[in-house]
């Protein structure tokens, strides 16, 4: 039985490297379809959770993990020699920016160095990490062929960008159309079989570069429009105009307008990072992507704008920011999830503390701050209760619990970056 037949008859083993917000839903999706899935991760706590049938991501219920384990279709390991057991290997590892706002592919290249020695041939190798066009050819294909394999005959290399939206109840890992590009036609056919076994709709494209660019365009579209509405927010604020009401009114137009909303900055692993993968690659071709870079500049400036709004709110009470006690509401970068990657809340916390404020936080989804690459100094801080004992409260994340919370009797000012609070105190400020 050939490789594609084994996948289509649910007789294959699908390996997924990286068991985070993308990788865990992916192994669960294959297991739910009755296909054996093997997760790989260097984080032993994730392996232990899966073996115990428990989830470590808040919006993914443990009963899904337990059911996959009980079915015998889900395993997890830190032993990369077991790559040889897999018919397909999907790489779901981070692609951050370095300190110079340039692509950091170290997670991809390090993972490839760990995987390639255990390839046996007649396998699919798929990259899902968001990256610049050409990465699959330059980093994956060259390494596979340097190991003695012929891509398109021995190893089938594909690129298929992840499109996860953590916490969105409308979309699961499998009902979002899956874009797939192959290095050769045979690679594409293998990729279509791999993802067609678990996903409802496959969108084949003509090359890995097309698939890589597709993901970047999706996220650049969002980043540029968020940059636009953030700039409009600042202008509207100076004019005394409520931009949130403007957006609500504009959204009634049934064509030609898509609402985007202002905020305290960009968060998550995609929107703050992905556009700069393209700007970096474009410079190789002598192209200066001014529009993308301007949007990035505006979005990165929003935490400073918010801090100035906090200063204004404190001034109303004749208080300096230096020495003030501030409660930050929300560390996750988006509503009702525990995902704090690239959250602007960390930047807000740092900027407020740099000005002499004492900052505590509340987030029911992030009870303890984990260790992060950029803000390791905050690791171990714990969420506190929401009380009126602060000089100012800063609402940074639109968790539903904050929408429902009754601030109406609070005497301290509330600075709301999300137009979130419905029961507002007398001293209420939009930011």
Task: Give me the active site residues, please.
Answer: 270
Query: In this structure, how many other beta carbons lie within 10 angstroms of the beta carbon of residue 414?
Result: 25
Contacts for 252-260: CB closer than 8 Å, 24+ residues apart: 258/225, 260/222, 260/225, 260/226, 260/228, 260/229
Look at the alpha carbons of 88, 109, 161, 169 in this order and tell me if their dihedral is positive or negative: positive
- Up-side HSE of residue 298: CA atoms within 13 Å toward CB? 21
Strand order in the sheet with 202-205: 74-77, 36-40, 13-17, 88-91, 123-127, 155-159, 178-182, 202-205
What size, in residues, is the chain? 431
Strand order in the sheet with 325-329: 358-362, 325-329, 392-395, 414-416, 428-430
Look at the alpha carbons of 313, 319, 320, 324 in this order and tell me if their dihedral is positive or negative: negative
CA-to-CA distance for 4 and 426, rounded, in angstroms?
A: 64
Residue 70 to residues 54, 199, 393: CA-CA distances in angstroms? 12, 22, 46
CA-to-CA distance for 205 and 181, rounded, in angstroms?
A: 5
């Amino acid at each position: 039985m050939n490789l594609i037949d084994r996948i289509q008859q649910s007789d294959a083993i699908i390996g997924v490297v990286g068991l985070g917000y993308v990788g865990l839903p992916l192994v669960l999706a294959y297991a739910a379809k009755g296909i054996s899935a093997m997760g790989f991760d260097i984080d032993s706590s994730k392996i232990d959770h899966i073996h115990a049938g428990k989830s470590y991501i808040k919006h993914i219920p443990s009963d899904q993990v337990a059911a996959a384990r009980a079915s015998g279709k889900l395993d997890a390991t830190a032993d990369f020699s077991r790559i040889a057991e897999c018919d397909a290997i999907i790489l779901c590892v981070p692609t951050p920016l370095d300190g110079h706002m340039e692509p950091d592919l170290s997670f991809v290249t390090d993972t490839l160095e760990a995987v390639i020695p255990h390839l046996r041939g007649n396998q699919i190798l798929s990259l899902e990490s968001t990256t610049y066009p050409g990465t699959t050819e330059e980093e994956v294909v060259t390494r596979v062929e340097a190991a003695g394999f012929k891509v398109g005959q021995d190893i089938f290399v594909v690129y298929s960008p992840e499109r996860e939206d953590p916490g969105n109840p409308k979309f699961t890992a499998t009902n979002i159309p899956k874009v797939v590009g192959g290095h050769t036609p045979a690679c594409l056919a293998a990729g279509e079989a791999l993802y067609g076994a678990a996903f409802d709709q496959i969108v084949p494209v003509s090359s890995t570069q097309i698939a890589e660019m597709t993901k970047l365009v999706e996220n650049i579209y969002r980043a540029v429009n968020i940059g636009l509405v953030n700039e409009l927010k600042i202008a509207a604020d100076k004019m005394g105009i409520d931009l949130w009401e403007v957006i609500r009114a504009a959204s009634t137009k049934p064509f030609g307008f898509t609402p985007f909303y202002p905020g305290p900055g960009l968060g998550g692993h995609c929107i703050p990072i992905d556009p700069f993968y393209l700007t970096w690659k474009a410079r190789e071709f002598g192209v200066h992507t001014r529009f993308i870079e301007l949007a990035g500049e505006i979005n990165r400036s929003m935490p400073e704008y918010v801090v100035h709004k906090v200063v204004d709110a404190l001034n109303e009470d004749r208080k300096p920011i230096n020495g003030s006690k501030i409660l930050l509401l929300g560390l996750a970068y988006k509503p009702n999830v525990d995902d704090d990657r690239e959250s602007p809340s960390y930047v807000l916390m740092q900027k407020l503390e740099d000005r002499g404020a004492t900052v505590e936080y509340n987030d029911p989804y992030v009870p303890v701050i984990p260790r992060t690459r950029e803000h390791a100094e905050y690791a171990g801080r714990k969420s506190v209760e929401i009380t009126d004992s602060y000089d100012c409260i800063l609402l940074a994340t639109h968790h539903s619990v904050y929408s429902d919370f009754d601030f109406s009797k609070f005497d301290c000012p509330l600075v709301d970056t999300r137009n979130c609070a419905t029961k507002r105190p007398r001293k209420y400020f939009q930011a």
